[in-house]
Amino acid sequence: MNRSQAKIGYARTSTSDQNLDAQIAALKTAGCSMIRTEQKSGTTLDGRSELKTILEFIHPGEILVVTRIDRLARSLTDLQTIVTALKNKGAHLAATEQPVDTSTATGKAFFDMLGVFAEFETNLRRERQAEGIIAAKMRGAYRGRRAKINMEEIQMKLDEGASPTNIARAMGISRGTVYKAKALM
Catalytic residues: 14
**Residue 58 amino acid letter:** I
How far apart CA 170 and CA 18 sit, in angstroms, is 41
Sign of CA dihedral 85, 13, 28, 48: positive
Instruction: Find the DSSP H helices in 30-174.
Output: 49-57, 76-89, 105-139, 151-159, 164-171
CB atoms within 10 A of CB 120: 11
How far apart CA 87 and CA 83 sit, in angstroms, is 6
Q: How far is CA 13 from CA 113, 122, 136, in A?
A: 22, 15, 29
Give the strands of the sheet with 34-39, arranged side by side.
34-39, 7-13, 63-66, 92-95
